[in-house]
Amino acid sequence: MAEWVHAAERAYVAVATGGATLPSAPSSPRALAAAGAVASHYLAVGTPRSIALVGGEDAVHSLVAHRTWFNPTDIRCTSGSVAAMVGGRFVPLAEALTADIVCIHVAMPLAASQLRRGTHVNALASVELDEELQKLATIVDEPKGLPAMAAGLVDGRQLDELTVFVAGDASIAAAALAQLEP
């Protein structure tokens, strides 16, 4: 269990309920991963069996963070070195994008036609969503949407819709993680 992920979730709840003003802190791969894992907790299918790590070594943090709540049996990686580090499968991008949870750590365009129904995407880098995906998906951002969801003020996933979390700089998670460091 990753305490740093729970710290990020607590920070989101505190922000939504007016219980905290967090100092600014620089973003980091762990902060982005924590934000993505919290988003997946509320937006992914109930028992995700597959997770995709799109990008380089920073993506490893996403798997560690997601294991706070999930135990995916199918780990798909678009990098051979990441696949070797996490015991996952090296797959083409097209196969990675059909996982239950997709964590994107590289700038890229993303089209609705590349995803299957029910997929949750964590856009942890600059991901350009096509017009159709913007219309079809439930899109949640870090500064407003995720805190309200973590606090139970708004609902997460409803059925088998596409969901997308846009992390931005994950400033809330970054501030929470900075407070954990001595």
| pLDDT digits 0-9 by tens, 51-77 | 999 999 999 999 999 999 999 999 999
Segments making up each domain of the chain, as ranges: 3-180
For residues 119 and 100, the answer to whether their CB atoms sit within 8 Å is yes
pLDDT, tens digit, 9 for 90 and up, residues 84-139: 999 999 999 999 999 999 999 999 999 999 999 999 999 999 999 999 999 999 99
* CA–CA gap between residue 148 and residue 144 (Å, rounded): 7
pLDDT, tens digit, 9 for 90 and up, residues 127-179: 999 999 999 999 999 988 999 999 999 988 888 899 999 999 999 999 999 98
Helix (H, G, I), strand (E, B) or coil at 73: coil
Tokens of 165: 């979390």
Predicted confidence band of residue 23 (pLDDT cuts 50, 70, 90): confident
Topology, domain 3-180: Rossmann fold (3.40.50)
* CA–CA gap between residue 170 and residue 35 (Å, rounded): 6
For residues 54 and 80, the answer to whether their CB atoms sit within 8 Å is no
